[in-house]
Amino acid sequence: MSRRRPDLALCPIARATRLVGDAWTPLLLRNVCFGQRRFDELQRALGVPRASLTRRLARLVEDGLLERRLYQDRPPRHEYHLTEKGRAFFDVLAAMWRFGEDWLFEERAPVTLADRRSGRPVRPIVVDEATRAPLELGELRVRRARADA
């Protein structure tokens, strides 16, 4: 975080953006979430330059969102799997999906999320963990966390 902007170090959004703050990283995590785990298939699907993909995968492993697992000895080849932290990031991707579906297409988006078993469309929403009620911006404020909480 910036030493000149201490408020950024306190903000969860600023920290999350620092973690995945480029265009390729959320797309890479999206593809791993939906089953692409090998370097070549990720590179082919995304069209990201190999050097960029190597750097991003290494950073995601270092930051604890992905783990490398050897699947072939000779030559050594690895797959990338989501960690618990990486699986938790799916909530961010789901919120981005909903925003993109609702606001970034003239008509309907050409792809949709669907329940794996029933096939019914799924529309993600962000809810409060305690009440399960959808979050409403007008009902929220930012405050310092209490030490006893």
Residue 118, Cβ density class (10 Å: 0-12 exposed, 13-18 middle, ≥19 buried): exposed
Pair of tokens at residue 145:
């966390």
Structure pTM?
A: 0.83
Residue 66 forms part of a structural domain: yes
Q: What b/e readout covers 11-27, taking b as 16+ CB neighbours within 10 angstroms?
A: eeebeeeebbeeebbeb
Token pair 């050897």 in the structure block, residue? 70
Domain count, the chain: 1
Residue 144 resides in a domain: no
Domain with residue 118: its CATH number is 1.10.10.10
Can you read off the two tokens belonging to residue 92?
Answer: 């961010």
- Is residue 36 included in any domain, yes or no? yes
Q: What is the pLDDT along the chain (149 residues), one digit of tens a residue?
A: 444 565 666 777 787 877 777 888 899 999 999 999 999 999 999 999 999 999 999 999 999 999 999 999 999 999 999 999 999 999 999 999 999 999 998 988 899 999 999 999 999 999 999 999 999 999 999 988 888 76
Considering only CA atoms, which of 28, 99, 12, 92 is closest in space to residue 60? 28
Burial label, 89 (beta-carbon count in 10 A; 0-12, 13-18, 19+): buried
- Residue 84 in domain: yes
Q: Is residue 48 part of a domain?
A: yes
Give the per-residue pLDDT at 1: 45
96 within domain boundaries: yes
> Which range of residues forms the domain containing residue 127?
6-139
